[in-house]
Amino acid sequence: MKAIILISEASLPLAKTLQRELPDTLIYTKNECEGCISITSCHRFIEEHFNDFDSIIFIGAMGICVRSIAGCIKNKYKDPAVVCVDSTGRFVISVLSGHVGGANELTRHIAAITGGEAVITTQSDNAGLWALDTLAGKYGWKITVPHAEMNRLVTLFVNREPTALLLDIKDKGTEYLERTLPAHVKVFYHFEDMPQSEFKLIIAVTPYIYSAEIPMLCFHPAVLHLGIGCRKQCDPSGIAEYIEAVMHRHGLCPFSLASLNTIELKKDEPLLEILHRRWADTETHIYPAEELKDITVPHPSEKAFEVTGVYGVAESTALKSSGEGTLVLEKQKGMLTEGNHFTFAIAVSATAMRGGHIEIVGAGPGDPELISVRGKRMLEKADLVLYAGSLVPRELTFYAKEGATVRSSAGMDLEEQFALMKEFYDKGLFIVRLHTGDPCIYGAIQEQMAFFDRYKMSYHITPGISSFQAAAAALRSQFTIPEKVQSIILTRGEGRTPMPEKEQLHKLAQSQSTMCIYLSAGIVEQVQEELMQAYPPETPVAACYKLTWKEEKIYRGELKDLAKIVRDNNLTLTTLLVVGEAIDNRKGLSRLYAHEFKHLFRK
């Protein structure tokens, strides 16, 4: 909940604007104003309700703001964010709890709303450095250092003391740190590779426990998955403490536990409930034996199989929740009281493990500026860029870092492409497979993914802008017209690749939707013939050649002339054919702006 403290009634329009833009915001003022809550004294109100709000926004003089909060301030880990906005909205000042409380972020947000200037005095923000005291909350990591120690470590960092960054796992947070690495920070991926004598501080994102010779700030991501097995009605006393002691002995941090896992047969065991209470932030997963039977465990037990139907409950459930990651603690047996046997094992998430990775990136329709921000970042970090030859402009590969290998797949068969990617992957390197448009639309990635799956390779897809979207923009057309056309069909004509019977063009055309036809310029006569079985001959068409490329050409006409347009202009396979009355249509009125939908725009 946010509070706006309005000092002068003259700034009420500004307060109302902020209230509309900021969810869960109430306006308090000594004046009688409609839609505001009346208070007798700003100072007394703040004194009584200071900690009832996440954020407090003063609109008025800084002096009033400071005097009102002065007696309430305790520390940055408990105080709410306080921001002061001048009466015109020109200056927005972060006053209190800039990082931990979020005042700096709120200041930027408010300045964007008012068109004003954000005034932030926090050193790390102004120096472009990481806000170490907010990273844990932002990325779901945990930290164990006390506040006083955190302040000391932050001081070392913002003073630009030589800093080592240890990243022995990967997630969105570590990607951010790698991408924004300050000049005084050097990254390492293995603890033993760090020459500690060369640094004054270590920052680590890790599920492991390390002992360092210099100050160390550890962030613990939730990437460990604990599998549990036990005898029926096992006495849970002391088992959680025992597991933590074993984890510490093996250098694993309990703060990195992401899930507790067992088999359906054990779902009602008291032990599971006790462990979940101990690690309350973890998820609990219960698996039927059928889902675990194909998981290979390093320590199979015939006795476990007789009772449960799987050869190892602890190891199989840990591996299952890790997404086929790696066991970092193989099956451990325990018995703290007579007859109360239990087993446990720990696996690390497959997605968190460092090693080779393949990112399938959609390059967009051609213009290098139409690749996504994420896609550009992937290209910038890639060790190998394998791009789709003449279908992707070479200019897109200019984003690659110095020293990266950039190869065209145009002259390679699939086996050669796989061999090249696997060569880099096996070295633990990062590969971008760059496809035109969106890789999931006629992107020919299915065979590649089957190969990656077969070799259990890590991969991910970054979507791209498809040529049908580029066509709509180039044609200045909304492909969906209210009460006329509400569907867009992406398809192709039947050439060498057969079409399913139910997807023949003349059948799809019966809907008279906006149809975007890929890879069909070479069979345009057949396409025109099928479409005219359902669309009127005068239906608008567009032949879009190399959309967003420097060579882009767009030819408009009517369906009855489509084949002639394509043939007369020697259009090739890089042509998208668009058919439908939505082209250039300006007659439809979107109901989104009709009176009955105005409530959608109100906060």
**CA gap 584, 581 in Å, rounded:** 8
Instruction: Dig out the tokens for 133 from the structure.
Output: 């005291």
Q: Kindly report, as residue ranges, where domains of CATH 3.40.1390.40 are found in the chain.
A: 132-221
Q: Which residues fall within 8 angstroms of residue 465, CB to CB, at 6 or more apart?
A: 362, 364, 365, 370, 372, 437, 438
Q: Which CATH code fits 357-465? A: 3.40.1010.10
**CA gap 469, 478 in Å, rounded:** 10
In the prediction, which pLDDT does 153 show? 94
In the prediction, which pLDDT does 487 show? 96
User: How would CATH label the architecture of 224-352?
Assistant: 2-Layer Sandwich (3.30)
The average confidence (pLDDT) of the chain is 92
Other C-beta atoms within 10 Å of 319: how many? 25
Q: What is the mean pLDDT of residues 382-397?
A: 92
**CA gap 173, 186 in Å, rounded:** 16
Other C-beta atoms within 10 Å of 153: how many? 21
Which class in CATH covers the domain with range 2-121?
A: alpha beta
DSSP-assigned states of every residue in 227-261: EEEE-TT---TTHHHHHHHHHHHTTB-GGGEEEEE
Q: Cα torsion at 4, 10, 16, 17 (round to 10°)?
A: -100
Contact 591, 482 (CB under 8 A): yes
pLDDT at 101 > cutoff 90: no
In the prediction, which pLDDT does 75 show? 82
Calculate ∠ Cα 279-281-286, nearest 5°.
Answer: 80
Q: What is the pLDDT of residues 15-36, one digit of tens each?
A: 999 999 999 999 999 988 888 9
* SS3 label, residue 323: coil
Task: Give percent above pLDDT 90 in the chain.
Answer: 78
pLDDT at 594 > cutoff 90: no
Q: Kindly report, as residue ranges, where domains of CATH 3.40.50.11220 are found in the chain.
A: 2-121
In the prediction, which pLDDT does 589 show? 55
pLDDT at 467 > cutoff 90: yes
Q: Which residues fall within 8 angstroms of residue 209, CB to CB, at 6 or more apart?
A: 248, 251, 252, 253
CA 452 to chain centre: 22
**CA gap 159, 201 in Å, rounded:** 11
Q: Kindly report, as residue ranges, where domains of CATH 3.40.1010.10 are found in the chain.
A: 357-465
Q: Kindly report, as residue ranges, where domains of CATH 3.30.420.180 are found in the chain.
A: 224-352
Residue 386 pLDDT class (50, 70, 90 cuts)? very high
- Packed helices 103-114 and 12-21: angle between N→C axes, nearest 10 degrees: 120
Closest CA to 543 of 525, 569, 523: 569
Q: Which long-range contacts (CB under 8 A, 24 or more apart) does 133-136 make?
A: 133/76, 133/99, 133/100, 134/99, 134/100, 134/102, 135/173, 135/219, 136/219
**CA gap 230, 242 in Å, rounded:** 14
- Packed helices 446-454 and 414-425: angle between N→C axes, nearest 10 degrees: 40
Q: What is the pLDDT of residues 333-384, one digit of tens each?
A: 999 988 889 999 999 999 899 889 999 999 999 999 999 999 999 999 999 9
Contact 346, 240 (CB under 8 A): no
**CA gap 21, 9 in Å, rounded:** 19
pLDDT at 123 > cutoff 80: no
**CA gap 152, 215 in Å, rounded:** 9
Q: What is the pLDDT of residues 76-93, one digit of tens each?
A: 778 999 999 999 999 999
**CA gap 494, 411 in Å, rounded:** 26
Give whole-number Cα distances, 550 to 93, 185, 391, in Å: 46, 41, 13
Instruction: Dig out the tokens for 122 from the structure.
Output: 């926090």
**CA gap 376, 319 in Å, rounded:** 33
Looking only at the bridges linking them, the beta strands covering 224-230 and 201-205 are: unpaired
Instruction: Dig out the tokens for 297 from the structure.
Output: 């465990």
CATH fold of the domain at 132-221: 3.40.1390
Helix (H) or strand (E) holding 112: helix 103-114
Q: What is the mean pLDDT of residues 443-464?
A: 92
Q: Kindly report, as residue ranges, where domains of CATH 3.30.950.10 are found in the chain.
A: 468-579
Looking only at the bridges linking them, the beta strands covering 216-219 and 163-167 are: unpaired
Per the rule left: phi > 0, alpha: psi between -120 and 50, beta: everything else, 184 is alpha
In the prediction, which pLDDT does 573 show? 80
Q: What is the mean pLDDT of residues 295-321?
A: 91
Helix (H) or strand (E) holding 454: helix 446-454
pLDDT at 603 > cutoff 50: no
CATH fold of the domain at 468-579: 3.30.950
Closest CA to 468 of 514, 425, 537, 405: 514
Q: Which residues fall within 8 angstroms of residue 403, CB to CB, at 6 or more apart?
A: none
**CA gap 36, 29 in Å, rounded:** 7
SS3 per-residue string spanning 215-227:
CEEEEECCCEEEE
Q: What is the pLDDT of residues 266-292, one digit of tens each?
A: 999 999 999 999 999 999 999 999 999
Q: What is the pLDDT of residues 494-516, one digit of tens each?
A: 888 888 999 999 999 999 999 99
In the prediction, which pLDDT does 390 show? 80
In the prediction, which pLDDT does 55 show? 94
